[in-house]
């Protein structure tokens, strides 16, 4: 089955119904080889011009670079809206409006990407904020790409995951008619089965003729990996209370999520104790994205080597300590600011060791370029 095994698609629909409390249609759910494949297929729908204007799609900055890379590949414009770092990477509607108005000068702006919980930024959108985004998308006639692959990864006790589908449905007419594509993956959550390549997408309010063509294009690639599909089934249809494997499954799931939560606190605390670092709370997802102040001398040394300052910093860290981080410029950041992404995935003893080594490195680096 090119769009996934029917039984598993049905189980995904049941999972979504349980998650949201609203009906999901299994035929609008398509299994994919990871979220990336689905995202790329839906982005491809926007490869055409509208009234002689190239298409533009709104993406958050910072953002997981699959979006910017694929937009470049497809020749689609990236209309960048900045997340508000000073407010815990919140998504401000005034900034969406600014980016949209700027973007429409040169592009037909047709869709908006929202990553919730955020990658690399780790924020979890509040329900009211999601409502605002849906209103915005409705007003501007945008399709929403809801990248919700971290939906199980919420650590902050004051945060809760709401799917765009749920919020939209509960807002009622006319907002429940916004075009939406939501993406999920087996690589995140508590499974973390990256290498098996599995995921799904749910399509809502897509023109049936468009959806038919999308399904047709996907079928040329035959089917997503069977094993990945089976893991999708495990994610969607978890053991029920009372079933033989329920206790062990629940225990393992809770232990993994609890440990990630502890690590999310630990990493933020460690970074915020370092001079020149400022790290927002990791409410969800799997990353910290601290801001670093780099000394003028370091910026000058980077320029002399032809490197971006954050890339220069990341290379020094790698060379001197063996720690690998991803420079903020790979995700986008406000000009003149420097960040990096690191993950909360290493187990606690290793994470502690890493943070100790990191602190030592940074102290020396700061002294060297003071």
The 3-state DSSP class for residue 57 equals: strand
Q: How far is the CB of 253 from its own copies (least distance, A)?
A: 22
77 belongs to the binding site for its own copies (CB under 8 A): no
Return the H-helix or E-strand segment holding 180.
Answer: strand 180-185
Which of 353, 149, 359 has its CA nearest to residue 263?
A: 353
37: buried, middle or exposed (CB in 10 Å: 19+, 13-18, 0-12)? Answer: buried
The residue among 19 and 40 lying less far from its own copies, judged by its C-beta, is 40
Q: Rounded to whole angstroms, how far apart are CA atoms 120 and 118?
A: 6
- Side-chain half-sphere exposure of 194, counting CA atoms within 13 A: 1
Residue 366 and residue 313 in contact, taking contact as beta carbons nearer than 8 Å? no
Residue 109 engages its own copies in binding (rule: CB under 8 A): no
By CB under 8 A, name the one of 19, 27, 65, 108 that touches its own copies.
Answer: 65
At its nearest, how many Å lie between its own copies and the CB of residue 43?
Answer: 11
Instruction: Spell out, one character per residue from 2 to 41, where the chain touches its own copies: x when CB under 8 A holds, - when not.
Output: -------------------------------xx-xx--x-
Q: Can you tell me which of 7, 21, 25, 69 binds its own copies, judged by CB under 8 A? A: 69
Would you call 300 exposed, middle or buried from its count of C-beta atoms within 10 A (0-12, 13-18, 19+)?
exposed
What's the closest the beta carbon of residue 73 comes to its own copies, in angstroms? 6
Q: Are 16 and 164 in contact, with CB atoms under 8 Å apart?
A: no
What is the pattern of x (binds its own copies, CB under 8 A) and - over residues 201-220? ----------------x--x
Which of positions 219-238 make contact with its own copies (CB under 8 A)?
Answer: 220-228
Asked if 194 interacts with its own copies (CB under 8 A), we say yes
Rank residues 45 and 96 by Cβ distance to its own copies and give the closer one. Answer: 45
Phi and psi, residue 54, nearest 5°: -65, 150
Which is nearer to its own copies, 222 or 241 (by Cβ)? 222
Which residues contact its own copies by CB under 8 A?
33-34, 36-37, 40, 44, 65-66, 69-70, 73, 194-197, 217, 220-228
């Amino acid at each position: 089955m090119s769009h996934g095994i029917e039984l598993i698609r049905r189980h995904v629909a049941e999972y979504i119904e349980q998650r949201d409390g609203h009906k999901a249609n299994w035929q609008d759910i398509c299994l994919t080889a990871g979220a990336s494949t689905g995202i790329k297929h839906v982005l491809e729908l926007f490869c055409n011009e509208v009234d002689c204007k190239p298409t533009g799609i709104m993406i958050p900055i910072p953002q997981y670079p699959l979006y910017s890379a694929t937009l470049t590949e497809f020749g689609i414009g990236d209309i960048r809206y900045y997340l508000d770092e000073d407010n815990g990477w919140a998504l401000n509607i005034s900034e969406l409006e600014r980016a949209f108005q700027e973007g429409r000068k040169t592009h037909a702006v047709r869709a908006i990407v929202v990553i919730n919980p955020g990658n690399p930024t780790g924020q979890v959108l509040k329900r009211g904020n999601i409502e605002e985004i849906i209103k915005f998308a409705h007003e501007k006639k945008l399709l929403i790409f809801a990248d919700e692959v971290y939906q199980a990864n919420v650590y902050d006790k004051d945060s809760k995951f709401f799917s765009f589908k749920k919020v939209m449905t509960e807002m009622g007419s006319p907002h429940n008619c916004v075009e939406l594509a939501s993406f999920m993956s087996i690589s995140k959550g508590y499974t973390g089965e990256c290498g098996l390549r599995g995921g799904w997408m749910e399509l809502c309010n897509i023109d049936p003729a468009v959806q038919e063509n999308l399904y047709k294009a996907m079928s040329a690639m035959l089917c997503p990996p069977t094993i990945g599909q089976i893991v999708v089934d495990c994610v969607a249809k978890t053991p029920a209370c009372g079933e033989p494997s329920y206790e062990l499954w629940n225990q393992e799931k809770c232990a993994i999520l609890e440990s990630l939560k502890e690590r999310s606190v630990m990493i933020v605390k460690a970074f915020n104790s370092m001079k020149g670092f400022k790290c927002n709370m990791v409410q969800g997802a799997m990353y910290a994205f601290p801001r670093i102040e780099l000394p003028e001398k370091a910026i000058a040394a980077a320029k002399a080597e032809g490197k971006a300052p954050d890339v220069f910093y990341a290379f020094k860290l790698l060379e001197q300590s063996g720690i690998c981080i991803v420079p903020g410029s790979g995700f986008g950041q406000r000009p003149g600011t420097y960040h990096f992404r690191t993950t909360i995935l290493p187990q606690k003893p290793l994470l502690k060791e890493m943070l100790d080594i990191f602190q030592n490195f940074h102290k020396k680096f700061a002294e060297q370029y003071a």
